[in-house]
């Protein structure tokens, strides 16, 4: 074993260094850039520990189910427990039912913890009930969901030392993969609360990840505050090698990094980015731009440049856009996206709900949708025309409010629009009093309301075709109707069998359609055993060759008819017993969201097939966030902000002053996207300024192409 560890000193120096820290009872952080093989190091450390300490118990927690599978496939050992962060924490606390109930009530009494709201917080509501972790929250029923679990676990570990003792007893090691995506509360549990355990032998915590790849809002990003503590037991280890990217991509990535990790090609000739002569692949990096957006011309240019740029090959070539909306038109599911993201009736409902809440107004059960909308529109007009809201004493606060978002010569409406996305927890403490003064003197509880009220005036502008069927129906039927695009495009699942996994945001209508398309594909791909298993399960009996032939004709007719609507496919799938319509999840959806159901039914089923192919990875399109963790031979990055205020590629390339947060967020996402490329990288910018081109020259050298001149 000693000999084996010494061999690691040359072959995997970062693993050897970490094992030395473990010997000294220190926690550790392995920091490595994209493509460095951090998971490979993680697996090596686990294997070495199991060799040296056969009785050691190891927990490995990670962000996704895909990562869980990957680690389990590489190390299958009874002493190793691999799970997602949420599943791990639930396993830690689920048997402490009395403490669980008390903590939920305690949290419900804290006004700042909004996710634990209960009208009358009292532990008696849990009599005869166990607290359970489910897909949807219902505190009165004893059910917590994905969102409440982390807060609850952190609160319990902070308040019950016996819980910390039990973890120190159970595990010798806890390793966190992709730590930068981990919620701060998880880090507090592992580094703050567990360390206060009275147990002599404390669990050693290991973190694996890369701060430059922290692209999710809920992630802690980095562990600098722990590394800087004088008495820290957390030791940092850097893994500098890169096993994925060619040299030109590595050079670009190093220019984008803002920490102390400088990558270099792997010394391992078996690494994917190495050649037989032990040198790294050179690769290609291009910055392309044009005056107007012309993706077809861009793709043609790349395809003519190198035959490897094949946009029909979705496995090896990917086009990365910032948002699903930017992809919807190219991938041809725009109508579905417009229903789930831009439906004017639902947008109005959202504003109406806000108005009713703020003004504490309600209507009786017989009031129609049109009556509610019309009355509120009238009220809003009167409020705007009144002195209190036309001036609403904001003039005297205008200059003060500007200090929250400094700018010159802005109108009131422009100012309010910019104030809208500012979250109160992001405002400097010294300036928070301005918000309170604003609320007290104007009577306006939410700044959003000032900007949004103008939308309520546009009742007459609602699409008549959409609005007419519902305008005379009871408002109460639609009062709580809402939809977000994640209900359509969320892809938190690893296989068809995991469609209902905790954390999936797909609604039950989209899940139903996925079941239909999965089953049709079994038939189309000639996986008849699986196809007939499903229809047999749905009680469709095939008693003769004639019945089998008729089923074949019906399905092939369905597959070939490109004009069939989603509603028709749902009905036919039910008739053929492919996926039955009388299904509780679908019925629940229709009951709560009939408006959405009826709108989606009218859309072409081909649009859903396009959406299905996109979400299943059968197209060359991907969002820039989704591609994290993946790698492709050829990567095209389209630098379009897509109206997402959190990101701005112009700010990044121009290094705009006072936009540091947006620049940092955008730079990390850009870094992640660039480092997906194993062979060729192309970056496309529309209408760049001179300053943008200067930065492009600095980052890309002479590899800058003006498509207008090609």
Binding-site entries for ATP: 32-39
Please give the C-alpha separations between residue 311 and each of 172, 387, 700, in angstroms, as whole numbers: 48, 59, 23
Cβ-proximal residues to 272 (8 Å cutoff; 6+ apart), any chain: 243, 244, 678
Q: Which residues are annotated as a binding site?
A: 32-39
Tally of residues, the chain: 710
* Sign of the CA dihedral running 46, 49, 53, 57: negative
124 CB-side CA count, 13 A:
2
Q: Which of 383, 381, 435 is nearest to 404 (CA)?
A: 435
Judge contact between 82 and 60, C-beta under 8 A: yes
- Rounded (5°) CA angle 248-250-255: 100
320 - beta bridge partners? 622, 637
Judge contact between 397 and 416, C-beta under 8 A: no
Say how far apart CA 517 and CA 558 lie, in whole Å. Answer: 11
Question: If DSSP states are collapsed to H, E and C, what string results for 160-216?
Answer: CHHHHHHHHHHCCEEEEECHHHCCHHHHHHHHHHHHHCCCCCCCEEEEEECHHHCCC
Say how far apart CA 338 and CA 321 lie, in whole Å. Answer: 18
Say how far apart CA 236 and CA 171 lie, in whole Å. Answer: 22
Judge contact between 538 and 577, C-beta under 8 A: yes
Place of tokens 């092939």: 556
474 φ, ψ (degrees, to nearest 5): -60, 135
Burial of residue 709, with CB atoms counted within 10 A of its CB: 0-12 exposed, 13-18 middle, 19 or more buried: exposed
Question: If DSSP states are collapsed to H, E and C, what string results for 461-502?
Answer: HCCHHHHHHHHCCEHHHCCCCCCCCHHHHCCCCCCHHHCCCC
Judge contact between 74 and 86, C-beta under 8 A: no
Q: What share of residues in the chain are helix, strand, coil (percent, to 5)?
A: 55, 10, 35
Question: If DSSP states are collapsed to H, E and C, what string results for 534-603?
Answer: HHHHCCCCCCCHHHHHHHHHHHHHHHHCCCCEHHHHHHHHHHCCCCCCCCHHHHHHHHHCHHHHHHHHCC
H or E element in which residue 320 lies: strand 317-321
């Amino acid at each position: 074993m000693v000999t084996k560890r010494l061999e690691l000193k040359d072959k995997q120096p970062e693993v050897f260094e970490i094992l030395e820290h473990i010997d000294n009872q220190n926690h550790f952080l392995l920091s490595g850039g994209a493509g460095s093989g951090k998971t490979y190091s993680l697996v090596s450390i686990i294997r070495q520990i199991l060799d040296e300490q056969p009785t050691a118990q190891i927990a490995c927690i990670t962000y996704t189910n895909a990562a869980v599978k990957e680690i389990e496939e590489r190390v299958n050992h009874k002493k190793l427990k691999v799970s997602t962060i949420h599943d791990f924490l639930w396993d830690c606390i689920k048997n402490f039912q009395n403490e669980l109930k008390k903590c939920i009530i305690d949290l419900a009494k804290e006004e700042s913890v909004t996710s634990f709201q209960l009208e009358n917080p009292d532990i008696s509501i849990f009599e005869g009930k166990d607290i359970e972790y489910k897909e949807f929250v219902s505190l009165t029923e004893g059910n917590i969901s994905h969102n409440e679990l982390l807060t609850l676990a952190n609160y319990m570990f902070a308040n019950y030392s016996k819980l910390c003792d039990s973890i120190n007893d159970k595990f010798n090691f806890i390793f966190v993969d992709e730590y930068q995506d981990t919620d701060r509360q998880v880090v507090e549990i592992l580094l703050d609360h567990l360390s206060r355990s009275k147990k002599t032998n404390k669990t050693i915590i290991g973190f694996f990840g890369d701060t430059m790849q922290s692209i999710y809002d809920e992630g802690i990003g980095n562990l600098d505050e722990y590394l800087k503590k004088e008495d820290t037991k957390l030791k940092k280890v850097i893994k500098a090698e890169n096993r994925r990217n060619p040299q030109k991509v590595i050079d670009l990535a190093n220019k984008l990094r803002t920490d102390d990790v400088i990558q270099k090609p792997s010394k391992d000739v078996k690494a994917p980015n190495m050649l037989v002569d032990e040198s790294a692949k050179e690769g290609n990096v291009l910055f392309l731009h044009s005056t107007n957006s012309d993706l077809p011309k861009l793709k043609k240019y790349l395809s003519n440049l190198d035959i490897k740029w094949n946009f029909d090959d979705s496995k090896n070539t990917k086009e990365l856009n910032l948002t699903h909306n930017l992809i919807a038109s190219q991938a041809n599911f725009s109508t579905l996206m417009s229903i789930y993201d831009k439906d004017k009736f639902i947008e109005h409902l959202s504003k109406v709900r806000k108005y009713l809440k703020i003004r504490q107004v309600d209507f009786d059960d017989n009031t129609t949708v049109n009556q509610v909308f019309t009355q509120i529109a009238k009220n809003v007009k009167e409020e705007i025309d009144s002195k209190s809201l036309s001036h609403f004493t904001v003039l005297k606060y205008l200059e003060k409010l500007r200090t929250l978002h400094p700018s010159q010569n802005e109108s009131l409406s422009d100012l309010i629009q910019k104030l809208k996305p500012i979250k109160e927890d992001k405002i400097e403490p010294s300036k928070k009093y301005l918000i309170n003064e604003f609320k007290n003197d104007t009577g306006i509880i939410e700044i959003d309301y000032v900007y949004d009220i103008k939308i309520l005036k546009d009742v007459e502008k609602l699409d008549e075709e959409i609005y007419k069927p519902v305008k005379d129906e009871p408002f109460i039927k639609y009062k709580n109707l809402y939809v977000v695009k994640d209900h359509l495009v969320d892809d938190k699942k690893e296989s068809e069998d995991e469609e209902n996994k905790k954390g999936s945001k797909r609604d039950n209508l989209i899940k139903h359609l996925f079941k239909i398309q999965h089953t049709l594909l079994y038939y189309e791909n000639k996986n008849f055993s699986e196809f007939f298993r499903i229809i047999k399960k749905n009680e469709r009996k095939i008693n003769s060759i004639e019945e089998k032939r008729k089923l074949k004709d019906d399905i092939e007719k369905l597959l070939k008819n490109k004009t069939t609507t989603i509603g028709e496919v749902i009905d036919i799938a039910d008739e053929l017993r492919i996926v039955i319509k009388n299904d509780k999840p679908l019925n629940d959806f229709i009951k709560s969201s009939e408006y959405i159901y009826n709108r989606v039914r009218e859309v072409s089923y081909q649009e859903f097939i396009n959406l299905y192919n996109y979400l299943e990875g059968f197209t060359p399109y991907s969002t820039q966030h989704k591609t994290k963790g993946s790698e492709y031979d050829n990567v095209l990055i389209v630098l379009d902000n897509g109206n997402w205020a959190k990101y701005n590629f112009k700010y990044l390339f121009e290094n705009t002053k006072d936009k540091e947060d947006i620049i940092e967020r955008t730079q990390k996402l850009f870094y992640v996207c660039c480092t997906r490329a194993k062979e060729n990288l192309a970056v496309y910018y529309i209408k760049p300024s001179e300053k943008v081109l200067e930065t492009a020259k600095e980052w890309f050298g002479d590899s800058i192409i003006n498509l207008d001149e090609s």
